[in-house]
Amino acid sequence: MTDTTRQRGYEGPLERVDDCTWRIPKASRPGMLVDGLIFADERLLPLVKSDRAAEQVANVAFLPGIQKASLAMPDIHWGYGFCIGGVCATDPAAGGVVSPGGVGYDINCGVRLVRTNLMLDDAKPVIKQLVNQLIRDVPVGVGQGGRYVYSPDELRGMMQRGVPWLADRGLATPDDVACAEAEGCIADAVPGLVSDRALARGSDQCGTVGAGNHFIEVQVVDRIADEKAAAAFGLRAGLVCVLIHSGSRGLGYQVCDDALRALRDAPAKYGISLPDRQLVCAPVGSPEGRHYLGAMRAAANYAFCNRQLLMWQVREVFARIFGRSWESLGMTLLYDVAHNIAKFETHGVDGGQKEVCVHRKGATRAFPAGHPDVPERYRETGQPVIIPGDMGRASWVLAGGPRSLERSFGTTCHGAGRCLSRTAATKAAQGRNIAHELEQAGVIARCKSREGLAEEQPAAYKDVDVVVDVVHRAGLSTKVARLRPLGVIKG
């Protein structure tokens, strides 16, 4: 689908299910195996219809073995194959497939939130100095390498074991491991399936932010919505936190690119008819499917390590600016969650339990209270869910909601979601100084490129408060705390 096609807008059917859900009925297009369901309300509906992302929701409903529905979160916008915000689960026992388009190029792009024991009055006098030091010391930008350089053998060890591999080298604590999704390591990774080209691209990029929508943001908790959950998460009004957003960098991009080429002929080989060639896929149990999954998991583990090393460098910067150790500053990891991943999980389907392959593309796992995969310290409240907004407004911490398993395979939104393309945002920024506008609003922003701030200006994104309100009312995840930006660095 071309960019021009994307901009035409969605013209197909959308039937209202309830205040927060809209259906694309499977009867509306021959070949759809299940309905499409989009979580949105009347405020977001014009944005849902503004591009062809809803059509991509319908396209995903063609995938063999898909279960229950093709889903999209309220931060939905057009993507490669799947929309951003797309979710689907396929049943391997029913010929279910895995599709790289359901994970995306930035495998395990995700976020982690770091608490401190600093309060707003501690940070305000030094916020400009702190942000300037962060952009000096933490590598950001397109293709940017960093100080952590690994050989191919070291990378394979990292991709096999994830964050525990860094812990053995003194670059992660046991608490850092415990407070990451899957404890920072997706099982059954096969690093030997990652190409030499991908290894070369990843050799010096672990511990780097990259560009695009990736960032490191210093924030303050400005509102508590659930006192009990906030206390369990160690959050209180006025507390300073740091939000880190990055993924698998050039290594993950190359793994996806390699997979798309390798899978090009797989649909014809297995008799799979697709409405969009960007949905190229293979049965989960096929040699092609197993190959992609093994390499994808390896890239996902690299991404967990990337965010861990970014956090390690942030801790060092804070220690330098405040003249105290990061431990004395209380810089502990609240949680780390993946946005772009395919994982085997057990879910209720048709009155029974099935192991399914859950694709989350720009979507966040949101397991509820009591789920065994939620760390014990958070099990009474539900999994922490971290939702970045834009650098001018807010981000949110949520908890896995009571209806997430029933309605969305334990999934919620991953952010605010774009409402302007990068091209449109850049055009809208012509003649303006975005950094000055942000500073006037109380946010210190530093970026390696002028284009980066223009592309990522607040107006390029939906209002995260509205998006979060939808998933809260839908029971996918519940509001815990709102965080306001103080300073941000981007590529």
Active site residues: 414
The rounded distance, in Å, linking the Cα atoms of 401 and 368 is 5
Helix or strand (DSSP H, E) at 419: none
| Beta strands 15-18 and 215-224, pairing class | unpaired
Of 79, 131, 126, the residue nearest 105 (C-alpha): 79
C-alpha separations of 63 from 35, 73, 81, 148 in Å: 12, 19, 11, 40
Please, are residues 112 and 333 in contact by the beta-carbon 8 Å criterion? yes
The rounded distance, in Å, linking the Cα atoms of 33 and 62 is 6
The rounded distance, in Å, linking the Cα atoms of 386 and 242 is 12
SS3 489: strand
The rounded distance, in Å, linking the Cα atoms of 53 and 362 is 13
**Per 3-state DSSP, what percentage of the chain is helix, strand, and coil (rounded to 5)?**
35, 25, 40
C-alpha separations of 179 from 114, 134, 175, 240, 377 in Å: 10, 24, 6, 19, 9
Of 310, 301, 246, the residue nearest 114 (C-alpha): 310
Neighbours of 326 (CB within 10 A): 20
